[in-house]
Structure 1
Amino acid sequence: MKITISGKNMAVTDALREVTEKKLSKLDKYFFEDVPVDVTLSVEKNRQIIEVTIPFSGAIIRAEESTEDMYQSIDKVVDILERQIRKHKTKLQKKNKGFETIRFENVQALPVGENGKESSIVRTKRFAMKPMDAEEAVLQMELLRHAFYVFRNAETDEVNVVYKRKDGNYGLIEPEF
């Protein structure tokens, strides 16, 4: 893996860089050498935040963790990434057939849910999307008490998504085609 570490609102010390690389090297057994790993370390008030993004073969594995101690955040984010890889092993295998980026022979599948079944889509919703701006979509999302809201952007006539972030702010997803 090719690990790129950057800091936001903080300087990345050599010790922090070494620990991060050492902990993330646990994931080497799952990937081939040329897979890029982007790591962002940041500080917001008393929160030590680490974000890790691993793009490979058209898929992206991402994890974010925040605690009061950066070293604890690093440990937790590695556990989250390993769990995601194990949990989605079969789905990733189907999606990445023929690609040489992930080593599935090293991924042990997690036990399937308690009832012995794999997760599946159990409900489908259809709804009309009236054109609105992002601020109105945020208001609708808050009124519905949802974590995200899908809407048609009145300015671009594209389908967009607004979502509530962990830091209390909002995000807007605008797809590119």
Structure 2
Amino acid sequence: MKLQISGKQIDLSESLQNQVSTHLDAIIEKYFDKAIDAKVTFSKERSFFTCDINVYVGNGFLLRGEGEGTDAIAAFDDAAEHIAKRLRRYHKRISNHARTLSMSDAINEMAKEYILKQDLDKADAQQNDNEANLPTNQVDSHTQIITEYPTEIVQLNIDEALMRFDLADQNLLIFRNKANNQISILYKRMDGNISWIDTSAAQKR
């Protein structure tokens, strides 16, 4: 597993890095043959430390956990326990899902994800000046593309999608529904519930 550890105002000692690597490997190996890469980010607030863990285990499968503590190790342990708790919740389903993936010859669709930054003051000025809009396939002049990276659209049934949604602690998941081969979307509502958009309904109209 390729492991990247970074920190803001944190002393990334060799002892800390070894503990992170050993602990993550122990968690992942219980449920998966291997992980492709992992990113662990530490930061220090006024009176506590935070840790954000993102582990990619392949085929669009992402695990994520956030934690905080009085020191970096405590913050990491808290974030790692959040991941471990979700994995324990889906233990049998993860094993079956991983077995299905290994037997499948389906090729995931690739797409691009963009991270955008908007200058809202500039946007307000543009609207007040009644400037002409750019073509819809372009980013507005007040919006900047910070970065772009490939992302996978995986074929899943709704139960598998909900499991991945929870394990990745995501607010949004786009997948191709095995039941109808159409794009479906899960997103977390402000009230804490999850909405499922099934585009196959539009195909039937």
Scaled by the length of structure 2, the TM-score of the pair is 0.43
- Which protein has the larger Cα radius of gyration, Structure 1 or Structure 2? 2
